[in-house]
Amino acid sequence: MKLLCSLLTALLAIPLLPASTPDFGPNVLVFDPAQPDAQERIHAVFKQQERAQFGSGRFALLFKPGRYPLDLPVGFFTHVAGLGNLPGDVTIAGPVWTDAAWMNRNATCNFWRAVENLTVEPPNGTNVWAVSQAAPLRRTHIRGDLHLSSGGWSSGGFMADCRVDGVVRAGSQQQWFSRNSGWKEWTGINWNMVFVGCDNPPLGEWPDRAVTRIDTTPVVREKPYLTLQNGQWRVKVPPFQRASTCGLTWEKGEAPGAVIPIDAFHIARAGTDTAASINTALRAGKHLLVTPGLYSLDETLVVSRPNTIVLGLGFPSLIPVSGKTALRVEAHEGVIVSGLVVDASAVETETMVQFGLPNRPSGRAENPTCVHDLVCRVGGYGPGKAKRMVAIFNDHVVGDNFWLWRADHGANVGWTENTCDTGLQVDGNNVTIYGLFVEHTQKYQTVWNGERGRVFFYQSEMPYDPPSPDAWRSPTGEGYASYKVANAVKVHEAWGLGVYHVFKKAPVIAENAIETPETPGISMHHLLTFRLGGGKPGSGIRNVINGKGSETIQSQKKTVK
């Protein structure tokens, strides 16, 4: 191990970036097609990150335009991205893969990794991307087949703006969300597969086949990305699309969007920047680019200027060590937040991430706040406590891939140790979320108080560890529903909701997986519950929604509506 660490340190210390390259810090590796030691550097990072599920390492591997004959494994907290204007500008002539060999091919813990904005040419015609939550595949062209498992379990991936020339084989993927993507053929349907605005989605009708198809995506903005063209570092910001869309943004050889020079960004570096220095830059009108690392924040990062961009590279972690909110967006419109991890600390935080201010709703449909690839964690890596992870008070917010996780394994995990009531609370109106993953919180996991909310795909596991029925009794009966739409809400719609459970500590019962008002404006499509193995006899979910749907208490029986 000491030899490995020494090798990695030596490799990362080798000068790589030209003088004109911004100082992104030591954990951003920028590759050139002519670079002789690229493969060695990549494997050194992977050896450190392959098993580092709760480690402190964070890396971004960035590739200048060109062709690279490489084998590119992707470990924990590793962000792989091309620096071209289009995915075809960077080609990896080899696999870009993750297979969970570290966990006997069980990919249900393959979290916190990302690939975007490049083309992959797997030499044997197949690329393996065996992942679960918080592992987005974006703006990527696979010239071959794509396998979403590697022989073991996998569960809960996200794909957007991607093209697969061959066949997508879901394999053991229990649930998956795809948006604005396409392929030659999709094979494999298990519990809950949702396709929004995709070319050639699989056939089949719910409930006979667990397929949810929505022909077009109503409102969306693709994630911003870093580019290097003609020696100039920039951030490309795809346009917000209000008209319904289907298919990819780049397939016609175009890359619409605004181009912002890197000089307009404050480049934050772990160990150098503080909450004070970052807030000073934000108040001065800078956008924010957060480089890989751990950021201990004693004050809240406040975004008060409309149209500010906050872009993370390499899964940077914001840690509210004083218990104050880590990030608060006070601007009323146009803010973009992408690629951040927020980790609760031992000091309890009321709200980890906040969009808008309570009782002061604002926002415009023409210029919404957009949030991509947001991860919040409570425990697992160490002590963590929070009341809620994310609160959305603003109107017209568009979310794209949230994983809000109270840890069920790792360090400092227990009913009274890593405490968190709620993953997501939405008070704003006209909020739309694609790919919402909320797990293991101790009361209602998702609480929706705003009007005209829309959710496309919901994946949730109830907490494993309620110690007794009394410890988990909700205001409406036995246990807490995972998804709660408030009684006063008149209009709400959601598609493809899966709520799963395994109660390991006590024979507790949840009366409903989902609770909503029963009014004409509430439309809930394609709902299911599933009992995982290993729970206490007599525990389970009594109803899918509002007293309807078969119970999953005594057997592993999937129920659908």
- If one counts every other C-beta atom within 10 angstroms of the C-beta of residue 20, the result is 9
Torsion of CA 405, 409, 415, 419, to 10 degrees: -30
Using omega within 30 degrees of 0 as the cis cutoff, is the peptide bond preceding 207 cis?
A: yes
Distance, in Å, from the CA atom of 517 to the CA atom of 490, rounded to the nearest integer, reads: 8
Residue 410 phi/psi, 5° resolution? 105, -160
- Helical H runs in 409-525? none
Alpha-carbon torsion (98, 103, 106, 108), positive or negative: negative
Q: Which of 259, 314, 249 is nearest to 287 (CA)?
A: 259
Produce one character per residue of 293-320: b if its CB has 16 or more CB atoms within 10 Å, e if not: bbbbbeebbbbebbebbbbbbbbbbbbb
Q: One-letter amino acid identity for 466?
A: P
Between CA 207 and CA 219, with CA 213 as vertex, the angle to 5 degrees is 140
* Contacts for 282 with CB less than 8 Å, ≥ 6 apart: 266, 288, 301, 302, 303, 304, 305, 308
CB 497 within 8 A of CB 528: yes
Strand partners, 474: 477
SS3 515: strand
Q: Give the E-state strand segments of 42-124 in sequence order.
A: 59-63, 66-68, 72-73, 78-82, 90-92, 96-97, 113-120
The CA–CA distances, whole Å, from 333 to 117, 226, 336, 397, 445 equal: 27, 22, 9, 9, 26
CB 389 within 8 A of CB 378: yes
* Contacts for 245 with CB less than 8 Å, ≥ 6 apart: 180, 197, 216, 217, 220
Residues annotated catalytic, as ranges: 461
Hey, what are 548's tokens?
């309807």
Q: What does the radius of gyration of the chain's CA atoms come to, in whole angstroms?
A: 22
Q: One-letter amino acid identity for 213?
A: R
Torsion of CA 422, 406, 429, 336, to 10 degrees: 150
Distance, in Å, from the CA atom of 149 to the CA atom of 147, rounded to the nearest integer, reads: 6
Instruction: Tell me the DSSP string of 347-415.
Output: S-EEEEEEES-TT-----TTS-EEEEEEEEEESBBS---EEEEEEE-SSSEEEEEEEEEE-SSSBS-ST
Alpha-carbon torsion (257, 263, 265, 268), positive or negative: positive
Hey, what are 2's tokens?
């000491």
Hey, what are 230's tokens?
């003609």
